[in-house]
Structure 1
Amino acid sequence: MVPLRGRSEELGKLLDALRAAGNGRASLAVVSGEPGIGKSALLAAAVEQAERQGFLVASAVAHQTDNISPLASLAPALRSGAEPLIDTDQFLELAGLNTQPLWLAERLADLIGRRLAGVRALIVLDDAQWSDPLTAFVLRVVIDRLPAAQVLWLLATRPSPGGTTDQLVEAVNVPVHSIRLAPLTAEAIQDLAADRLNHAVDPSLAVQLAGVQGIPFLAEQLIAGLYLSDNDLSAGLVEGVRRRTAELSETSRELVRTAAVFGSEFQLEDVAVLMAAPVARLAAPLEEAIKAGLLVDGGSVLRFRHELLRSAALADVPPSAQRALHGAIANQLMAAGRGAAAAAPHVLAVAQPGDVVAVETLREAARDLLATMSTTAAEVIQQAFELTRVGDPLRAEVGVDVVSVLLAAWQYDRAKAFADDLLRDATPDLRATLLLHLAPFRRLDVHDLTVPGAAPELAERLAGHRALAGAEAPSSATDPIAQGLQLVASAEQARAEGRFGEARELYGAARRAPVGLGSLPATQVEVGELYCRAETDDLPAALERVRELMTAGDSWAAPQLAVLRARLEYASGNLREAEDAAQSGLRWMDQLHDQTLAPAADQVLALIALLRGHLSQARKLAGHDPTISALLAMADGDPQAVERLAGTPHDVPERIGLLLEANAWRQLEQLQPSAASRGALAVVAAGNDVEQLAAALEVVRTTHRPLLVAQVAERYGRAALDAGDRTTGVRALEQALDSLAALGATAPAGRIQAVLQAAGVRRRRWAAVPPRAQQGWESLTPMERRVALLVADGHTNRSAADELVVSASTVGTHLRAVFGKLGVNSRVQLTRLVLERFAPPPNA
């Protein structure tokens, strides 16, 4: 490899970061500098050193055209090398998640994390300023998820304040090494030239090299004859390329100029169509351009050797010819079925204000991009809007598109600001339409949800949103979409009053209603229904559905789903899973820049901390939460604090247990009957009656809520001891203790242990909280064990799903968890491990 000149300090920083990565300290290095300054050469040197040290290296280069294809920039790095980061099957699986950016990023983080277990790695992305939006998002998530991996993430970029790399640097929580490349010294430039020439630089060339002003790319082009030393760097490059292309055939020159208009990369077939020449006739002219150092053959595509060379070649194409070629390219791409998205950059290059055809092409491009590249779609539709003339009826229509696409890209603030501009001179129907696009996000002031003069169906939908905001009572409607909104409003009112069965039916009816302008997101409605299902004796099924949605639902709703899962896992006694879900929700809120549900996630974490006896952690999470404050006061010995639990709001997880703690008869009586509420009410009514408490305990045992069962069992056991029935009392208390210990609920387990010890119970070993296994067979949940056994027995995901009466997606979710906990990567490895574990003993 040619020596790297003048960059020993910068290379040293990268090697230090590599050494740290090898010791398990992941970090991000960003090399920035102007075009031609030597970023790629520095990256190549780092790659060479990493490979010598035994690092796994994965690298890719982003291109200007990447922003129309999801993950186009990062995908080559994922699949590069003899041992890629992800295999073919995994890559195909990821392709199915292109429309769900957060699930894709999470899955990719999981796959890369497993691949890098015990492996030192360098992952490189050159020209990161051109990264497609999905790559930029995925990098933020994956780097943040793998802080302890033995990996150095290395990016090269042109300076772009506020751009992709700046956003990445601000978002990640790993050390960042920022390396800004300055021009090389004159000595380094001459050393570089001597390396290329294989001999010393003569004085005349040394004078010319001084004119490149320390830019290594220009020094190399000067040697190659593609740059003439000049006070104007760009003019020197243009003139050098012009002189070199003058030596080419006319056809080769035309090929280079046409290709320069296409972009930094292109297909020979496309250029051939524009030149009206058979591809075969362009083989020799193409070879001329490659030998001249202008183009590189990448196999499926051709590229300019450097973007600066393309710019220099493009400077030789008159502006009028460029416009004509851009128009011809756009028409050709559309005619060839490449889609409006591929044609959009060329349409924008020639479109003039008022160009209706261009506007419609860009609208089509935005629609095509919306499912997989919503951020790019948002930029394209705004450019379409800018081409419409003030006063043109099309302007309002495209403006509504802008708001709709921005919202689909989860850019509410930009959508709201854009809509506010449109609302200034909007007709009543346009005003209502814009508000109904914004209303489902539930951030509008209720006073904005009334538009006099709007069409009846629009007015009814706005009324539905006023009901959802609690500004007026739910009412009837004739418009089907408005009816759906009113059903949700009624469901939320019933839910807030504890009428969960009624609310469940209303949510279900709302989910069956038609959807359209103003409708709430389907996931948002289903979340409400699942919450009510969990409160009406259907907790296991509701939890299973939430887990399924966490991998197959709308990833934009990830925080909402995570918080619901945390609540239901907590209710099911799965404290570790509840903690993981709440932490994931908080992480996703950071990534989506929406902290609306952070208090709800903190509330679950605080409740878990209280159960584990971690009072200081609970205090940090409590904030102004009155329920957590009351529980903390109780833990601090305040006997009056328990009375405050009677005021526990409806949305607190496992409210019934808290009301039971406070003996809140009236509040429990107001709840729509479920096994949990009936059992809790019976406990309060029973007082210290042992027989009634035993009957109440049997009711509660049907709820699949082990924390509540243990709470009632403790009351039953204490009452039995007080009544002199030591055998019954000790048995009930020991069962509660064992259950709480298995769940990791240290605090209540310790309290019960103290009661038993005071009663003279002696055990060989008191262990209120045995540590729960994190890895291995014992760490698997019962469902995960069943899935593992079925798969080891030869079942597919589908047949296992049929056996377990769940979905194949749910089986897949459990199977991935099994792989992670058991440290296996395939069904074959899993089968071998299961057979070894359950093999009969010798001579059996």
Structure 2
Amino acid sequence: MAMEPLRGRSAELGRLLEAMRAADQGAASLTVVSGEPGIGKSALVHAAVEQAERHGFLVATAAAHQTDNISPLSSLAPALRASKDPLIGTEHFLELAALNTQPLWLAERLADLIGQRLAGTSALVVLDDAQWSDPLTGFVLRVLISRLAETQVMWLLATRPSPGGVTDQIVDALGDQLPVHHIQLTPLDSEAVLQIAADRLNQPVDAALTVRLGSAQGVPFLVEQVVAGLYLADGSAEGPLPDGLVEGVRRRVAGTTELCRSLLRTAAVFGSEFRLSDVAALMGEGVARLAEPLDEAIRAGLLADSGAHLTFRHELLRAAVLADVPPSAQRALHSAIADQLLLTEQGASAAAPHILATAAVGDLASISTLRVAARDLLTTMSITAMSVIQETFELTPADHPLRGEVGADVVEILLVARQYDAAQAFANDLLGGTPLYQGPVTPELTARVRLLLAPQEWAVGALDAARLTVAGAPQPLADRLSAYRVLADAAEPFETEDPVAAAVLQLAHAEQAAAEGRFADAAAAYAAARGQRASASAVNAPGSEVGTPPAVRVELAELFCLAQAGEPITALRRVTEGLPGDSWLAPQLAALRAQLELAVGNLPAASEAAKASLRWSAEFHDPSAEPTARQVLALVALLQGDLAAARKVPDEPVRALLAMADGDTTAAERLLATPLDHPIRLELLLHAATHLPGTGQAAADLLADHAPAGAQLVAAANKRDLIAVAQAVEHLRSSQRPLLVAAAEELHGRVELEHGDRSTGIAALERALDSYTQLGATAFAVPVQAVLQAAGVRRRRWSAVQARPESGWEALTPMERKVALLVADGHTNRSAAEELVLSASTVGTHLRNVFSKLDVNSRVQLTRLVLQRFASPPNA
């Protein structure tokens, strides 16, 4: 059936078509269409969809509903699956369900899948009524639009004005990553109004109707309802629900059977979308008996049947029907709906909105159900769970003993929802004798709330020993608080049988060992803390885990210490092979990976991981990992010779290296103060000993505990013991830190050259130069090259100072070449990631760089180029 012509919106449609043409040419963009209910947003969206389909675009559409906030990704899912040419295959879509509790991993996986699907394809992705999007959809869209900024996609969101809502959050998160267009719809002029009416009537508009149409005030939806008789001209169009619409719908409904009227009123309380079986059960009628009343409602222009669900044709029509349902009847229906949902598989979370619509303060049965609902929602819809538990708290009388328990639930759920400041503030009010809670603040309640907060306070370095003493707390909780006081360095270790307290004490031991530079001991203690934590988690008693240290954060600390103890490759392998994943800690995980990649000399991967950490930090509004990520970026930039970029980060060792690059050789002494937890501290100490006479003994002393062979090398160099120097270098060659080995070769070569063994010295310096060059450490390579040139060494090409081309095959980094060859050999991003021990997202980033440098825009073109360069695409 042909669409009705779009009247009065030619300029707006033209802007959409312009964005669509740009997408077809490779310029992705986001367009936000906003306006009040009934102003014609959906009609404009439908016109854009029709045009996109005519031009061969892949089109994916969805519309959010008011009830979406109880089901993760429910708003976006239809756009992924329900189209003629789905964005996501069935197998992959089912796989995504397991990631609902890990929003970033879900979004990244979706970005990979959709990116593969859209390679070289122009697409339009639409979400109507975006203001009702579930929280997970809002987050995933922020990530997807950002990640797919280089694809041929036009994103289109239609929304009611909602300051600070989903669309505003998406636009704010995108920054300047791609163009964002705003289209604000305003009332139509009189000519467009008359054209819409004539279209609906299929004949010219008479004078009487022309007068009545004036009351619609240019709102397209009301124009259509005037024509349909559902809006009366004598009513006001002002306010959220026009009086004329209520009266018009009332008259239309009055002409239907009693069973139809009952169906409509019951459905209006259910919501804008509902199942006929639910309404039938609530009405006590068989579904077959409602077939005729349903047909009446559809013919009356009020309901639409999509097959799986029934919907009101417009939210304003539902509101108009609901306006004729007395408040007492609405409350009774909400209560009955809640009871019915609790008896079905939909459960407490689906019933929660209806319970909240009717529950009164002190309704203990409702409070109990809502606490269950909040728990049910917590794993997948933490933002909704947070709203439910906060409203539950308000329903609990201020002086009731249950108020404290619900208050503790609020703190816990706020923490899970990553609302740390709000959780701390609420806890202070709850325990501080404010009007928020007038019941007794028992030692058990105080201890429990303090233990809920303690793990996060440890993670951000904000443990306050003064808050960790609660007189009269039950023994297990008291032991845990005491253990956290040990962790805060305010008490001495003690013996305990409580597994949570034991885990915290092991954590305290690990922190102390790390602070003293005993990294092997620290790594072992962190591992022991994780083991104790697992014992605590195995206990299923209520409250058995309160205060348990966060497992992933503990493991991150363990792996960093493992790397500092001389096993960075081992630590990196554990990260890449699947560290237990909490996607909320993605910024910290990426920052650790950046440090580990730097330690093993993989500078491009270190930079990429650091940039990912910064990107995810911005998406989660969590700046805690930013200093580490920026430090790695500065170090990589400096090593690669980009001194301008390195100067942007106030890292003291970087400043010392920059001073050395500027000719201040004495700055090498400042490297001796490199902190114990610096990712390349050992390399910098050896660098200092190499480039500034007189620092050797100090450097040797500092290296002794963490790199004995390095200490022996420096000491031997100071004594000019050439045999010992060579032996120490040989020992260091087994190190997992290639930059350290290269630095050792450099020191060896310089010492040998100074003492007249030109052959041995030049060979060692050339090994150092080759290593630095292969690693991309231009800043360290250039001085070695200068020494060799001064010694009369001639090469056809000194690669250390060669700039990488900006385009073509030679512009690709070694990892980009591997990705290109694997993709040309038929690998997907995922299989290539498995082959290279990378994430699929990282492979996608490399592939986009390959496309850009080789000036191709599809895998087919890449394969052709590789075939032209090689007889057949070799395996990487």
Q: Using structure 2 for the length normalisation, give the TM-score.
A: 0.88
The secondary structure found in structure 2 opposite 1:702 is coil
Structure 2 residue identity aligned to 1:610:
L
Deviations 1:334-369 (A, max 9, x none): 111211111111111111111111111111111111
Query: Would you say the 8 A contact 1:784–1:815 is kept in 2?
Result: no
- Match of residue 708 from structure 2: 678
- Distance in 2, matches of 1:168 and 1:193, equals 37
Identity of aligned residues (%): 57
Return the match for 1:616 from 644, 647, 671: 644
What's the counterpart of residue 227 of structure 1? 231
- Offset at 1:473? 5.2
Between the aligned partners of 1:436 and 1:776, the Cα distance in structure 2 is: 56
Question: Equivalent residues in 2 for 1:748-759 (5 A)?
Answer: 748-759=780-791
Q: 2:436 aligns to what? A: none
- Contact 1:563–1:600 at 8 Å: present in 2 too? yes
Are the structure 2 counterparts of residues 563 and 818 from structure 1 closer, same or farther at C-alpha, using a change threshold of 3 Å?
Answer: closer
**Shift of the alpha carbon at 1:235?**
2.1
Paired residues in the alignment total 826
Give the aligned residue type for 1:534: A
- Whether the 8 Å contact between 1:531 and 1:564 is mirrored in structure 2 is yes
Q: Which among 528, 551, 560 is matched to residue 557 of structure 2?
A: 528
2:396 aligned to which of 388, 399, 402: 388
Contact 2:29-2:180 within 8 A present in 1 as well: yes
Contact 1:784 1:818 (C-alpha < 8 Å) held by counterparts:
no
Q: Per the alignment, in what secondary structure is the counterpart of residue 49 of structure 2?
A: helix
1:210-249 aligned within 5 A: 210-233=214-237, 234-249=242-257
Q: Residue in 2 aligned with 1:693?
A: 725
In the alignment, is the contact (CA less than 8 A) between 1:788 and 1:815 conserved in 2?
Answer: no
2:487, 2:618 → 1: CA distance? Answer: 26
**From 563, 575, 596, the counterpart of 1:546:** 575
Aligned partner of 1:628 among 649, 654, 657? 654
Confirm or deny: 8 A CA contact 1:787 1:815 kept in the other structure. Answer: no
Contact 1:718–1:733, Cα closer than 8 Å, also in 2: yes
- Please state how far the C-alpha of 1:152 moved relative to its aligned partner: 2.2
Q: 1:684 to 1:81 in 2, by over 3 A?
A: same
Deviation at 1:586, TM superposition (A): 0.8
Q: 1:730 aligns with which of 757, 762, 781?
A: 762
| Structure 2 SS opposite 1:343 | helix
Which amino acid counterpart does residue 566 of structure 2 have in structure 1? D
Q: Given the alignment of the two structures, is residue 556 of structure 1 paired with residue 575 of structure 2, yes or no?
A: no
Are residue 571 (structure 1) and residue 599 (structure 2) matched?
yes
Alignment deviations for residues 240-269 of structure 1 (CA, whole Å, 9 cap, x no partner): 112222232222222111111111111111
The 3-state SS of whatever aligns with 1:156 is strand
- TM-score normalised according to structure 1 size: 0.91
Aligned-partner residue type, residue 94 of structure 2: L
Distance 1:522 1:320 in 2: 50
Query: Cα gap change, 1:689/1:817 in structure 2, threshold over 3 Å: closer, same or farther?
Result: farther
Verify the 8 A CA contact 1:500 1:672 in the aligned structure 2. no
**CA-to-partner distance for each residue in 1:621-654, whole Å, 9 max, x for gaps?**
x22x322221211111112211111111112111
Q: Structure 1 residues 668, 244: closer, same or farther in 2, change over 3 A?
A: farther
Corresponding residue for 1:511? Answer: 530
Amino acid at match of 2:709: G
Unpaired runs of at least 5, structure 2: 434-440, 538-544, 690-695, 852-856
Q: 1:79: Cα distance to partner?
A: 2.1
- Deviation of 1:785 after TM superposition, in Å, equals 8.7
Specify the code of the residue in structure 1 equivalent to 2:559. L
Tell me the residue number matched to 1:438.
453
User: Which residue number in structure 2 is paired with residue 135 of structure 1?
Assistant: 137
How far did residue 666 of structure 1 move?
Answer: 4.9
Partner amino acid, structure 2, of 1:384? T
Match of 1:585 in 2: 613
Residue pair 1:499, 1:671 contacting (<8 A) in 2 also:
no
In 1, the alpha carbon distance for the partners of 2:250 and 2:565 equals: 78
Aligned to 1:206: 210
1:707 alignment counterpart: 739
CA distance in 1, matches of 2:587, 2:522: 22
Equivalent runs, 1:341-490 vs 2, <5 Å:
341-425=349-433, 426-442=441-457, 443-472=462-491, 474-490=493-509
- Asked if the contact 2:112–2:844 (Cα under 8 Å) also holds between the matched residues in 1, the reply is no
Aligned residue for 2:630, secondary structure, equals: helix
Q: 1:43 aligns with which of 42, 45, 48?
A: 45
1:83 Cα shift?
Answer: 2.7
1:716 alignment counterpart: 748
Q: Which runs of 5+ in 1 are unaligned?
A: none
Name the amino acid aligned to 1:628.
V
Q: Distance in 2 between matches of 1:696 and 1:786?
A: 40
CA distance in 2: counterparts of 1:782 and 1:42, whole angstroms: 43
Match of 2:195 in 1: 191
More off after superposition, 230-239 vs 412-421:
230-239
Equivalent residue in structure 2 for 1:601, among 595, 614, 629: 629
CA contact (8 A) 1:264 1:304 kept: yes
1:326 aligns with 2:334: yes
Between the aligned partners of 1:205 and 1:327, the Cα distance in structure 2 is 43
What is aligned with 1:31? Answer: 33
Distance in 2, Cα, partners of 1:525 & 1:402: 25
2:676 to 624, 629, 650: 650
Change (3 A) 1:747 1:671: closer
Contact 1:31 1:181 in 2 (8 A): yes
Native 8 Å contact 1:569 1:578 kept in 2: yes
- From 52, 58, 61, the counterpart of 2:60: 58
RMSD, aligned α-carbons: 3.3
Per the alignment, do residues 337 and 686 of structure 1 end up closer, same or farther by CA in structure 2, a change over 3 Å counting? same
Farther-moved stretch of structure 1 (534-543 vs 702-711): 534-543
- Contact 2:587–2:616 (8 Å) recurs in 1: yes
SS at the partner of 2:56?
coil
